[in-house]
Amino acid sequence: MKSEIKEKIEFLRAELHRHNHNYYVLSTSVISDYEYDMLLKELAELETKYPEFDAPDSPTKRVGSDINKEFSQVRHKYPMLSLGNTYNIGELRDFDGRIRRFLGENADYQYVCELKYDGTAISLNYKNGKLAQAVTRGDGEQGDNVTDNARTIRTIPQDISAFSKDFPAEFEIRGEVLMPRKVFDNLNIERTEAGESPMANPRNAASGALKLQNSAQTAKRKLDAFLYFMMSENLPTNSHYDNLQRAKSWGFKTPDHTRRVNTIDEVFEFINYWDTARKDLEYDIDGIVIKVDDLTLQERLGATGKSPRWAISYKFKAEEACTKLLSVDFQVGRTGAITPVANLEPVQLAGTVVKRASLHNADVMRALDVRIGDSVYVEKGGEIIPKITRIEPSLRTAESVEFQYATHCPECGTELVRSDEEANHYCPNPNCPPQIKGKIEHFVGRKAMDINMGEATVKALFDAGYVKTIADLYDLSREQILKLDGFKEKSAQNLLESLGESKLVPFERVLFGIGIRFVGATVAKNLAKAFKTIDNLANADLETLTHIDEIGERIAQSVIDFFKNEENRIIINRLKSAGLQFEIVETESASDKLKGASIVLSGTFAKHSRDELKAIIERNGGKNVSSVSKSTDYFLAGDKVGPSKFAKVNEFGIKIISEDDLLEMVK
Ligand code: IVH
């Protein structure tokens, strides 16, 4: 009996260690937070009941650590505790009951309800109003010193002494660094375009960005921060809520949606409201945090181990569905990267029918231990494609066999390779058909050459043997095009004209289009600006390249490798002969009527696309910025602008203009 318990305890520890590793090292969680908590709870209960099996390295003794060796370590003045989790109303009533019992039936107390931001925790130290140090949570006792990176986050004030004077000489303020969903989506679009694998969710993207070695890179990730907790020997008031209001008046970005309530029933109302309304937020939240407002009561309640007794979180249940895994396809991208994609028995999830889900890479598949025929849970997280979060072991059949990851390219049969630093396998054959088609599709795409040609035409041209490289596109004849299914005189003419027009596409877009690995649209722009011509770029060495904005060693090496390759050089020469733009043409700005004005665009517009409006702003000396701040000059409002946006614009007193107003201004 005892040996069975010991075995169970060891099993739970091993499982929890494995999940910790998945979460903190591989950045993929294969079980939900809820299941993790349940395993942890089961282990803690057994350890309390059977202290003879206690162990100092048990997962119950430590919370996951995000310490990174590259940063210096700082000990927290006050440990950074975590919160106990609850998942249903009953558990919350229990929490309320415990508080009442502890404080006495007649105690008078209020709760503060806050959103639980799904990002990464940060602690900021201010001395005489100036940001002195920013530290990650680490293991709760000590964390990474990420001050330089935190300084790049625009919503973290560097110096509050300009705003007011009534703040304590020394205080610490804690909060969550997060990446807005839109920024996350754009980052992933850019990563995919540059041939990199997408990030799993905004939380990982935020914590990854906060820990980049180069703070200039962090700045590009457009992180945001909400501050929700203040500590000091001289706090301004005795209420958590009021202190946060003070912090707001000192210039901190504190949560907008916080409410102070009198009863647990009002807490439930808050939860019910946000369970639906969270879909409309600009960032992910994964629950609600409930805190006792009065600091004296907080102190009386104290903490148990690693979490306070005066606060708790309520976690929303992610919408998930259980379905059967029918098969796994291995897709080959234009860079040769292999992505496993699950084919599922269609299932209804959050208003859509899900048939496919991403399985990311071999490590993730192994961690999930997923087999064909398994019942699997799919969840829609921050990402567009749903993902498989875990399997249902009780529904696994006896015949199921461990899944074998592909060893050879499903398209051309070449043996796959995988380097140590990469999560994905690659097909190393440059002539692998989906890679060729993918490169052509990328080249003709809207952000690159914008040639009027869809996937089907690319396939037809490739299958007919007319186009094997992007350079072949410019040798196409009318006769060849007319031989393709569905092409008539008029459509062939359109295609030829579109190819002709693409010869005017500016250098930076051509550079993006030729598909150098890791060179996304923004990097291409910077390279074009810095080198002016393709020949300068082709001759640049590693040092020169890494001096350019946003170019690290990895990108620089990839550029060098690209131009070293004889086949690539031939393609570039053929494109040059075809008349494409391989030099930057300096365009004078049309006017300086918007000189220095920073303008935020929002909504949809009647006369121009957003890209056109951005170009108009830039050509007239203005600057298009993505989010509203105190320094925004104009808010260019189209249709369908949300009320919360307008509220913010009004709060900052920003001038609102219409599309017509803008056009009038630059006339
Ligand atoms: S208060 C002692 N408030 O959740 C309480 N935490 O498991 C300290 N979080 O590490 C935390 N939103 O990263 C608090 N409104 C909020 C929060 C919040 C998100 C995170 C934070 C913390 C974790 C607790």
3-state SS, 465-499, equals: CCCCCHHHHHHCCHHHHHHCCCCCHHHHHHHHHHH
Rank 188-197, 351-360, 534-543 by mean pLDDT and report only the highest: 534-543
- Which tens digits make up the pLDDT trace of 631-662? 889 999 988 887 778 888 888 888 999 998 99
Cβ(83) – ligand 1 distance below 6 Å: yes
Q: Which of 68-77, 268-277, 447-456, 518-527 has the lowest mean pLDDT?
A: 68-77
Cβ(76) – ligand 1 distance below 6 Å: no
593 CA to centre of ligand 1 in angstroms: 46
116 CA to centre of ligand 1 in angstroms: 7
The pLDDT-based confidence of 121 (bands split at 50, 70, 90) is: very high
Residue 187 identity:
L
- pLDDT recorded at residue 545: 94
- pLDDT recorded at residue 25: 42
Q: Cβ atoms within 10 A of the Cβ of 39, count?
A: 18
DSSP 36: H
- For residues 186-209, average pLDDT: 84
DSSP 77: S
349 CA to centre of ligand 1 in angstroms: 29
Cβ(116) – ligand 1 distance below 6 Å: yes
226 has a pLDDT exceeding 90: yes
Which one, of 451, 471, 468, 478, lies nearest residue 579 by Cα? 471
- pLDDT recorded at residue 64: 39
398 CA to centre of ligand 1 in angstroms: 43
571 has a pLDDT exceeding 90: yes
Pairwise CA distance, residues 399 & 394, whole Å: 14
Which one, of 373, 429, 438, 427, lies nearest residue 401 by Cα? 373
68 has a pLDDT exceeding 50: no
Q: What is the CA radius of gyration of the chain?
A: 28
The closest-lying atom of ligand 1 relative to the alpha carbon of residue 116 is: 12
529 has a pLDDT exceeding 60: yes
- Decide: 504 and 322 in contact? Cβ < 8 Å: no
Residue 611 in 3-state DSSP?
helix
169 has a pLDDT exceeding 80: yes
Q: Cβ atoms within 10 A of the Cβ of 442, count?
A: 21
Return the sign of the alpha-carbon dihedral for residues 551, 555, 560, 563. Answer: negative
pLDDT-above-70 percentage for the chain:
95
Cβ(246) – ligand 1 distance below 6 Å: no
63 has a pLDDT exceeding 60: no
The closest-lying atom of ligand 1 relative to the alpha carbon of residue 176 is: 13
Pairwise CA distance, residues 522 & 253, whole Å: 29
56 has a pLDDT exceeding 70: no
The catalytic residue positions are 116
The pLDDT-based confidence of 613 (bands split at 50, 70, 90) is: confident
627 has a pLDDT exceeding 60: yes
- Go through the domains of the chain in sequence order and give each one's CATH number: 2-61 (1.10.287.610), 73-315 (3.30.470.30), 320-395 (2.40.50.140), 433-578 (1.10.150.20), 598-665 (3.40.50.10190)
Cβ(177) – ligand 1 distance below 6 Å: no
- Tell me the backbone φ, ψ of residue 580, rounded to 5 degrees: -75, 160
Pairwise CA distance, residues 628 & 208, whole Å: 25
Pairwise CA distance, residues 274 & 113, whole Å: 11
138: left (phi over 0), alpha (psi -120 to 50) or beta: left
- pLDDT recorded at residue 465: 96
The pLDDT-based confidence of 522 (bands split at 50, 70, 90) is: confident
- Decide: 401 and 237 in contact? Cβ < 8 Å: no
- Which tens digits make up the pLDDT trace of 419-460? 777 788 999 998 899 999 999 999 999 889 999 999 999 999
Strand partners, 311: 291
Neighbour-count burial of 88, counting CB atoms closer than 10 A to its CB (0-12 exposed, 13-18 middle, 19+ buried): exposed
- pLDDT recorded at residue 587: 64
Pairwise CA distance, residues 157 & 125, whole Å: 11
Q: Is 0.95 surpassed by the pTM of this model?
A: no
The closest-lying atom of ligand 1 relative to the alpha carbon of residue 307 is: 2
161 has a pLDDT exceeding 50: yes
Which one, of 441, 503, 471, 448, lies nearest residue 573 by Cα? 471
Cβ(81) – ligand 1 distance below 6 Å: yes
Pairwise CA distance, residues 553 & 563, whole Å: 16
Pairwise CA distance, residues 301 & 295, whole Å: 10
566 CA to centre of ligand 1 in angstroms: 54
Residue 415 in 3-state DSSP?
strand
Q: Which residue has the higher pLDDT, 419 or 593?
A: 593
- Which tens digits make up the pLDDT trace of 262-308? 999 999 999 999 998 988 899 989 899 999 999 999 999 998 878 89
- Decide: 382 and 206 in contact? Cβ < 8 Å: no
- pLDDT recorded at residue 65: 39
For every residue of 266-310, DSSP letters joined together read HHHHHHHHHHHHGGGSSS-EEEEEEEESBHHHHHHH-EETTEESS
> DSSP H helical segments within 484-632, as ranges?
489-501, 507-513, 521-531, 534-539, 542-546, 553-564, 566-578, 610-619
The closest-lying atom of ligand 1 relative to the alpha carbon of residue 229 is: 1
- Decide: 628 and 645 in contact? Cβ < 8 Å: yes
31 CA to centre of ligand 1 in angstroms: 21
Ligand 1 pocket test target in 37, 66, 82, 207 with most atoms within 8 Å of CB? 82
Cβ(374) – ligand 1 distance below 6 Å: no
- pLDDT recorded at residue 67: 42
Q: Which residues contact 468 (CB under 8 A, 6 or more apart)?
A: 436, 462
Over the chain, what is the mean pLDDT? 88
The pLDDT-based confidence of 36 (bands split at 50, 70, 90) is: confident
- pLDDT recorded at residue 588: 59
69 has a pLDDT exceeding 90: no
Ligand 1 pocket test target in 24, 37, 85, 289 with most atoms within 8 Å of CB? 289
127 CA to centre of ligand 1 in angstroms: 23
Residues in the chain: 667
Cβ(117) – ligand 1 distance below 6 Å: yes
344 has a pLDDT exceeding 60: yes
Six token digits for residue 74: 């700082």
Q: How far is CA 589 from CA 593, 595, 600, 618, 638, in A?
A: 10, 10, 20, 8, 25
What is the bridge-based pairing of β-strands 598-602 and 634-637? parallel
Pairwise CA distance, residues 177 & 223, whole Å: 7
- For residues 140-169, average pLDDT: 87
Ligand 1 pocket test target in 24, 37, 117, 243 with most atoms within 8 Å of CB? 117
